[in-house]
Copies of this chain bind each other. A is one copy, B any other.
Amino acid sequence: MLPTIPELARLCGVSRGTVDRALNGRPDISDKTRAHVLKIAQQNGYVPNVLARSLVTGKSNTIAIVVFDLRNRHFAQMINAIQQSIFQAGYFSYICITEKDRKRETQILRDLAARKVDGIIIIPINKSPAFEEELLKLHVPTVTVSNRLSSKFSYVGADFRLACYEGMQAFYEKGYRNVSFICPCADEQDDVNAYAQIQRAKGYASFMNEHPEMHGSLITSYDYCDIILQSVHGRQEKIGFFCSSDYYALNILAFSRKQGLDVPKDFGLMGFDGIDTLDYIEKQLSTIVYPIENVGKSAAELLNRLIANADAPHDVFVDFAFRQGNTL
């Protein structure tokens, strides 16, 4: 349907090599022939076949972004940032959603290798050594984000542990001596990679360890709203809840609205991530801002360097920041 190089060659009365020279701005061709070929190509709506080109060059100019969700604001923001970076470099990107299905993730990675992607940015949901080995065997430059795999893979993230430790300090300074940490993901099966979440829980635990005067617990149940309701009931002492993700905090705020609870009067609340949905709600949620746009940008740049075999840091840690709202 669309013309190919041999076709243009016939139309122009020159050889395929000459057409190639004209089309791709290569030297060793007269201005006249070049102009002619270009005109004919244009007239016939010539579109190069990138697949054929990739087959011979070995470069597909495609990268893949593998995440387990898209509805979460966080991922959309990150993907957006990555796209900005790579588009200029001429890359297209596959977006792949694993839905926290480990098998699916494995399959997707295999498929991506079959499609000869030049690189992969992934928030992995697997973590087994077998998985790592498979990923390595694909021989595709890979950057892991948020969820760490092992030192065999480049990583972009933040010091989540320290971040939560500092979040706890904020509670402490505000006079809270009873703070629980809400982190349902930490409870998932052993074989799921929840690194980022677990590090956050560890930061909490480490603060609690160092402060025996503190009370509170790690809440790994998805019924955290009910648990909060019970904990708050008839209590005098200041009590706080630190969520490992803003989404939990948003749910809690919606819940307390319905229950007639007042934050921070009835309990203090803090989130994590700093998603942009927070801009629209009535309270300013205190949270730890994990600058996901920077993460995306860094991951893209790192991957670029890996692909180009250029010098690149193995890991990149972005700065987080505590943001004071009015829920503490």
Contacts from A to B (Cβ < 8 Å): 1-2, 45, 47-52, 54-55, 60, 62, 70-71, 73, 75-77, 79-80, 83, 87, 92-97, 110-111, 113-116, 137-139, 250-251, 253-254, 257, 276-277, 279-282
**Given the complex, which residues of B lie within 8 Å of A2, measured CB to CB?**
113, 138-139
Asked whether B50 lies within 8 Å of A114 as measured between CB atoms, the reply is yes
Asked whether A50 lies within 8 Å of B257 as measured between CB atoms, the reply is no
Known pairs A47-B110, A50-B111; list 16 more (Cβ under 8 Å): A47-B114, A48-B114, A49-B114, A51-B60, A52-B55, A70-B79, A76-B76, A80-B97, A87-B97, A92-B94, A93-B94, A94-B94, A250-B280, A251-B280, A257-B282, A277-B280
Most buried by B among A1, A97, A251, A280: A280
**Given the complex, which residues of B lie within 8 Å of A115, measured CB to CB?**
50-51, 92
Identify the closest chain B residue to A277 (Cβ). Answer: B277
Identify whether the interface residues of A are mostly helix, strand, loop, or mixed.
helix
Closest Cβ of chain B to A195, distance in Å, is 24
A55-B52, A280-B250 are known contacts. Are A76 and B71 too (CB-CB below 8 A)?
yes
A48-B114, A114-B49, A137-B45 are known contacts. Are A254 and B277 too (CB-CB below 8 A)?
no
Identify the closest chain B residue to A84 (Cβ). Answer: B97
Q: List 22 A-B contacts (CB under 8 A).
A: A1-B139, A2-B138, A2-B139, A47-B113, A47-B114, A47-B138, A48-B114, A49-B114, A51-B51, A51-B55, A55-B55, A70-B79, A71-B77, A73-B76, A83-B97, A92-B111, A92-B115, A94-B95, A95-B95, A251-B280, A253-B280, A254-B279
**Given the complex, which residues of B lie within 8 Å of A60, measured CB to CB?**
51
How many subunits of this chain does the assembly comprise?
A: 2
In the complex the two chains form, what is the Cα distance from A254 to B113 in whole Å?
A: 46
In the complex the two chains form, what is the Cα distance from A187 to B75 in whole Å?
A: 31
Identify the closest chain B residue to A254 (Cβ). Answer: B280
Identify the closest chain B residue to A114 (Cβ). Answer: B50
Asked whether A49 lies within 8 Å of B92 as measured between CB atoms, the reply is no
**Given the complex, which residues of B lie within 8 Å of A114, measured CB to CB?**
47-50
In the complex the two chains form, what is the Cα distance from A76 to B72 in whole Å?
A: 9
**Given the complex, which residues of B lie within 8 Å of A73, measured CB to CB?**
73, 76
**Given the complex, which residues of B lie within 8 Å of A279, measured CB to CB?**
254
In the complex the two chains form, what is the Cα distance from A129 to B92 in whole Å?
A: 27
In the complex the two chains form, what is the Cα distance from A71 to B71 in whole Å?
A: 10
Asked whether B70 lies within 8 Å of A76 as measured between CB atoms, the reply is yes
Asked whether A51 lies within 8 Å of B49 as measured between CB atoms, the reply is no
**Given the complex, which residues of B lie within 8 Å of A94, measured CB to CB?**
62, 92-95
Asked whether A83 lies within 8 Å of B71 as measured between CB atoms, the reply is no
In the complex the two chains form, what is the Cα distance from A281 to B278 in whole Å?
A: 9
**Given the complex, which residues of B lie within 8 Å of A77, measured CB to CB?**
71
Identify the closest chain B residue to A116 (Cβ). Answer: B51
**Given the complex, which residues of B lie within 8 Å of A111, measured CB to CB?**
50, 92
Closest Cβ of chain B to A83, distance in Å, is 5
